[in-house]
Amino acid sequence: MTVHAPARRWAIAVLLLFVVILAACVAQTVTAPGAATTDAAAPTPTTVPVDDPTPASTSLSGGAALPSDETYKGLPVGFTEEGLLYRGAPDAPIVMVEYSDFQCPFCSRYFVQTEPSIDESFVRTGQVRVVFHDLPLVSLHPQAPGAHTASLCVAEQGSAARYWDMHAELFRSVEEWAGNPDPLPIFARLAEQVGAEMTAYQACMDAGELTPLVDARVNEGMDRGVTGTPTFQFIRAEDEAAFLLVGAQPYEQFETMVTTLLAGGTPAVAQEAAPQPEEQGIPFWATAEGLAPDPDRPGYTVAGDEVRGSEDAPLTIIEYTDFQCPYCKRHMDETQPTLDEQYVDTGKVRWVFKHFPLNIHPQAPAAGVAAECASEQGQFWEMHHKLFAAPGDWSINDPNPIFAGYAEELGLDATAYRACLEDPAMAARVQSDLDDGAPYVQGTPTFIILRGQEGSIVPGALPVDSFVQILDEELAAAQGQ
């Protein structure tokens, strides 16, 4: 479902075709018919009632909380009957099972931005007990299973408090170990920092006996319909009513969920979109004037954005992307070739590029500058493809020598290109795109589809069939106008 814009206001709404795309690391996309639309600045989560997804051998909450005298930051902590770690009162009326991945950036966002408020408002007051369920998505985060195993090897020594210390350190240090081909020494250092007995820890890691446990927990989560991280399963102890909240949502969404369940209510599965401010006008880069070809700069719009495809195409797609984002690369590798062949090359879609480097990708702004500098010599798209081809090669402290090597491979003027990389004006272009997208974009990739004065947002790296379906529907609507 899309939300169309009146002629005087641009009320773009998020197209939530999939439950977990916007604010979660996704292992498999899940269709959510009838999902609510919301304004881009405050994404509405999808809450899904859980009928009976429990495998016969396990409970949703990981079993009863075993008594414990341990505390972590003043909160009761311990183990459940099934060996999961909890924090909060064992008899709390609400259990929140957190399905998470230590390498997932959205899980890190939740850990930093939202978890502290939940702990203070609901865990410390005895209203919520949090149970952590390991769900490392190895296809997206190859080092995550090792991190989860390391945390469980710490927990294996019997201290829940020490586990939660390790848990926190893994999230805090993720940028250090996520890109390291051998993160085990880092995990060992963290285990030692939190006071683990290192001989036992190393024996646990070497034996690999907890790796099947991590795998089993992933399978349990998938069996329960959890396909992205973070996902939160809220269970009301009184009647065992259970609901999923998907993604690193703002604190207010958690507050609404908890207070509704405490009051005996049923959380809404869908919520109406918040209205856009009346004074918000169409941004210049999305107007007909801004999207017009720049007569002095072929391949650019008047607004200054790189563009390809027919000026007369019935649809315009504005892509906000991040060269270091794995989902953006997945879109480039798996979906974009078909979109180019069927829509851009046939004159049905005009494609506009805009930078949106996320702060969790430290080399992304520099990669944006590298692309802009190639554009100065007429080879933006060629550099664009090189950057997406092997982001691991340039995800290093100083990527500019790698970028300069790409420029030489493309036959660019190497001296001019190296000078351009140091030009603040290029960084300003990238920042300008980021500022342009901030009111509308929550993550990357994000695609804004414009049909005349009507617009919709498609967040995430959708499968090619899903994107094709959306474009065919938009083209059909355009023909009917």
Work out the average pLDDT over 385-409: 96
User: Which two three-digit tokens encode residue 434?
Assistant: 């980021």
User: Does residue 147 carry a pLDDT above 60?
Assistant: yes
Strands 231-236 and 315-321: unpaired
Selection from 137, 166, 308, 322 nearest residue 226 by Cα: 137
Report yes or no on whether pTM surpasses 0.85: no
Q: Which fold has domain 45-262?
A: Glutaredoxin (3.40.30)
**Could you tell me which of 447, 433, 481, 445 has the C-alpha nearest to residue 284?**
433
| Distance between CA atoms of residues 405 and 410, nearest Å | 9
Least confident of 460-464, 469-473, 476-480: 476-480
Residues 6+ apart with CB under 8 A from 453: 5, 6, 7, 282
149 against 61, higher pLDDT: 149
What is the band of 362 on the pLDDT scale with cuts at 50, 70, 90? very high
3-state SS of the chain: helix, strand, coil percent to 5?
Answer: 40, 15, 45
If one compares 395 and 439, the residue with the highest pLDDT of the two is 395
Q: What is the pLDDT of residues 199-251, one digit of tens each?
A: 999 999 999 999 999 999 999 988 887 878 999 999 999 888 888 888 888 88
Closest residue by Cα to residue 249 from 109, 131, 397, 151: 109
- 267 band by pLDDT with thresholds 50, 70 and 90: confident
Higher pLDDT, 431 or 59: 431
Q: Of 220, 227, 217, whose CA–CA distance to 48 is shortest?
A: 227
Which pLDDT value is given to residue 60?
60
Residue 65: closest CA among 26, 100, 91:
91
The reported pLDDT for the residue numbered 188 is 97
C-beta of residue 46 within 8 angstroms of C-beta of residue 36: yes
The whole-number pLDDT of residue 337 equals 97
pLDDT of residue 407: 97
Give the model confidence (pLDDT) of 22-60 as tens digits.
455 654 332 222 222 222 223 333 343 433 333 333 466
Selected from 3.30.450.20, 3.40.630.30, 3.20.20.70, 3.40.30.10, the CATH number assigned to the domain covering 284-480 reads 3.40.30.10
Token pair, residue 144, equals: 């995550």
Q: What is the pLDDT of residues 1-18, one digit of tens each?
A: 233 332 223 333 333 333
Peptide bond into 267 cis (omega under 30): no
Give the residue range(s) of CATH 3.40.30.10 domains in the chain: 45-262, 284-480
**What φ, ψ does residue 18 adopt, rounded to 5°?**
-130, 140
What confidence score (pLDDT) does residue 278 get? 36
**Interatomic CA distance for residues 418 and 396, integer angstroms:** 17
Alpha-carbon distances, residue 58 vs 15, 62, 99 (angstroms): 35, 7, 15
pLDDT at 32: 26
Is a pLDDT exceeding 70 seen at residue 86?
Answer: yes
Where does the pLDDT of residue 376 fall: very low under 50, low under 70, confident under 90, or very high at 90 and above?
A: very high
**Distance in angstroms (rounded) separating the CA atoms of residues 165 and 97:** 19
> Residue 23: what pLDDT?
53
Give the CA diameter of the chain. 73
The pLDDT tens digits for 167-200 are 999 999 998 998 888 999 999 999 999 999 999 9
pLDDT of residue 224: 81
Sheet of 242-246: strand order equals 47-49, 242-246, 231-236, 94-100, 128-134, 85-87, 75-79, 71-72
Statement: residue 390 has pLDDT above 90: yes
Question: Is the CB of residue 339 less than 8 Å from the CB of residue 471?
Answer: yes
User: Which phi and psi (to 5°) does residue 451 adopt?
Assistant: -130, 100
Which is nearest to 478 in space by CA: 448, 450, 451, 449?
A: 451
What sign has the CA pseudo-torsion 357, 275, 232, 219? negative
Task: Tell which wins on pLDDT, 266 or 133.
Answer: 133
pLDDT at residue 28, as a whole number: 33
Q: Stretch 326-355: mean pLDDT, rounded?
A: 96
Q: What is the mean pLDDT of residues 433-441?
A: 87
- Going by C-alpha positions, the residue among 65, 68, 84, 85 that lies closest to residue 76 is 68
